[in-house]
Amino acid sequence: MFLMSGLTKISQYAGTQGYMEMMGVPGALLPLVILVEILGASMIIFGFKVRITALVLAGFSAASAMLFHNDFSNPAEIDNFMKNFTIAGGYLLLFAVGAGPLSLDNRNK
């Protein structure tokens, strides 16, 4: 999900930057957001530094929920808020259990 989201932000850079600014988040942070999404997703996919990456992405998901999906008068935003916290919970579980046996983290074990 984050890999595709990061790639979409590249192709829709100006629109994403404008949306961030409309929500009170500096658009100058967009390159960092793209980096976190693409690099973080890639690290999880390949099983490299999974625990720390999962913790970063859990925080990122929770922050995204609070910054961008906080209009609780809109049912769609409530769904997005819950989705982001569900994703954060999944990443916290991944942080707790660590990478699988085929991951780069476990290649020398």
Nearest partner of 9 among 64, 90, 88, 80, judged by Cα: 64
Helices (H), 1-109: 2-11, 13-22, 30-46, 50-68, 75-97
Q: Whole-prediction pTM value? A: 0.91
The full set of domain ranges for the chain reads 2-100
Each residue of 14-53: pLDDT tens digit? Answer: 999 999 999 999 999 999 999 999 999 999 999 999 999 9
In 3D space, the residue among 1, 64, 57, 53 whose CA is nearest the CA of residue 30 turns out to be: 64
Query: What share of the chain in percent tops pLDDT 90?
Result: 96
